[in-house]
Amino acid sequence: MLGRRVAVTGLGVVAPCGVGRDAFWSGLLGPGLSGGRTTNIADWDPAPYFDSPKEARRADRVEQFGLAAAAEAFAQAGHVGVDPERFGVVVGTGIGGLHTLEEQVRVLIEKGERRVSPFLVPMMMANATGAAISMRYGLQGPNETMCTACAASTHALAYAARLIAMGRCDAMISGGSESAGSPVAIAGFGNMTALSTAGRSRPFDVERDGFVMGEGAAIFVLEEWEHAVNRGARILGEVLGSASNADAHHITAPSPGGRGAIACMRLALTDAGLTADDIAHVNAHGTSTPLNDAAEAAAVAQVFGSRRPPMTSIKGVTGHALGAAGALEAASVLLAFEHRLIPPTAGTSTIDPEMDIDLVIGEPRPWTPGPSISNNFGFGGHNGSIVLAPA
């Protein structure tokens, strides 16, 4: 990525497999999901992240998750010490405050127009999470929201890093948040046969039959490398490059043979100044749907040739968090650097024999951390790849 280097100095996570970095990592090493079309953050309590219960009630679950993850990221990063006008926010989400919208539609039908909450609009709007983070921490730089389906938070991280690299900002908050498992959404995804009928997420497995809907958030503090070094920050990793392109093929199905994904990964490698041989790990989108997993596996095989870097998908434990998926997966890569282990692809027992990939299954795999590429591909033909490296 041309321009200034970009360091990651803070990381916060809220996920069904664990709230907080340490719990999230433990969850990634745990058993796979089973028995339901959704996986949620159990017993979620937003109170610690708000000044009052009233303030918490006026934030949709997606905003609550984002603020909780941001609090942990800032606590880890410490005092960044950047001019607020050069400290921005770019957050991704696929849908935004869908729970609030659905609840208030029900209120309208059952109780009438005058009973609809005056907080409906600020709670449901897709940019609410980024706006809330900006206001809470006084960040006056660019404040933008990516809404590109399941590629949203990968696109958000990539764009935030680019703003630092090109000198527009000195630090950024970025990542993604999602909580879209409302009754109507579940019915819609189910009726389009995207959800697993077995209630199991099995990425790249021969018996995969759809995804399990997840939720959560991961938020990062990014800053210009020299600034991070000079203030003595602990650097978790570096953003080396990224890419975004479009399949221009179908609203939900990937392009044949993963054509768009192939181009996206190659563009990201070029942006990072690397070749395929430099990549030590592939963090896959790996949703557990028949078409998408097949296309991604074909794309990885095409990009890496006879060399097969170890690949994993964490959706076997997190479910598919839509617009937050890329942020959760970037968090897993950074934690894999720290712990020197690649998490297994939970839920997968028999890799589809049509796929020529080195998928990590069963147990975590020890590794020497190196440059890693994380992929996300969304409805609408949105593709995103980001290259991260150990500090």
pLDDT in tens, 23-55: 999 999 999 888 799 999 999 999 999 999 999
Tokens read off for 211: 């995804």
pLDDT at 349: 96
Please pick, among 99, 227, 320, 382, the residue that the annotation labels catalytic.
320
Region label for 38, one of left (φ > 0), alpha (ψ between -120 and 50) or beta (otherwise): beta
Whether the predicted pLDDT of 1 surpasses 80: no
Dump pLDDT digits (tens) for 241-279. 999 999 999 999 999 999 999 999 999 999 999 999 999
Catalytic residue among 99, 227, 285, 382: 285
Q: Is 285 a catalytic residue?
A: yes
Rounded distance, CA 154 to CA 375, Å? 8
Q: Which residue has the higher pLDDT, 118 or 1?
A: 118
Percent of the chain scoring above 90 in pLDDT: 97
Active site residue 79: no
Between the two ends of the chain, the Cα-to-Cα distance in Å is 16
Which pLDDT score is estimated for 34? 81
Residue ranges and CATH numbers for the domains of the chain are 8-383 (3.40.47.10)
Enter the tokens of residue 11: 């990381």
Strand partners, 320: 213
Asked if the model's pLDDT at residue 325 lies above 80, the reply is yes
Query: At residue 363, does pLDDT exceed 80?
Result: yes
pTM: 0.97
Catalytic residue, from 150, 155, 169, 281: name it. 150
150 has catalytic annotation: yes
Which has the closest alpha carbon to 95: 17, 23, 36, 177? 177
Each residue's pLDDT tens digit, 103-132: 999 999 999 999 999 999 999 999 999 999
Using the CB atoms, write b or e for 53-89: b if 16+ within 10 Å: eeebebbbbbbbbbbbbbbbbbebbeebebeeebbbb
Average pLDDT over residues 277-287: 98
Q: List strand residue ranges (DSSP E) for the chain, in order.
A: 6-15, 18-19, 87-92, 143-146, 171-178, 216-224, 237-246, 281-283, 310-312, 341-342, 358-359, 365-366, 372-378, 382-389
